[in-house]
Amino acid sequence: MEPHITIAGNIEEDLNFIEDISKKLISSKKEFKVSLGEVSFSTTYFQSVFVRVRSQASLMQLNMDLKEAFGLDNDVFMPHMSLFYGDHDMDTREKIAKEISSLYGSFMVKEVIIVPSTKNPREWEHLKTISLEN
């Protein structure tokens, strides 16, 4: 598993359709900066241990635009970068989160990658990379 921020997921459409719509929507967006926050953990497999990504307008708008384009529910979007996946007990998750403590910093988002997800992240492969405008 590589570090990533999931912007929209569970899109049940043909891959070519996903690529076409995503390219039209994403390629017109400008690169933007995201900042990392506190390390935390949760009860879910894909958010076992994660670092929060501070909300920022460009990221939130991209999430809303993708949801609208694919007819997805506008449910809660908590930007984060997963650090550790799995069905581990809460004590293990908490211990790992405390050991990492914080990953403060920032980076530029310059591209969006389309990846079909399965339960096993080792099976994930990059299908299409879409660059944002400079």
The CATH number that applies at residue 125 is: 3.90.1140.10
pLDDT in tens, 93-104: 999 999 987 777
Q: Which amino acid is at 113?
A: I
Give the residue carrying structure tokens 């990379």: 129
pLDDT in tens, 14-45: 889 999 999 999 988 999 999 998 999 999 98
Q: What pLDDT, on a 0 to 100 scale, did the predictor assign at position 41? A: 95
Per the structure, the count of domains in the chain is 1
pTM: 0.84
pLDDT in tens, 72-127: 999 999 999 988 888 999 999 999 999 987 777 899 999 999 988 777 778 888 98
Which range of residues forms the domain containing residue 56? 15-131
- Residue 125 within a domain: yes
- Residue 77 within a domain: yes
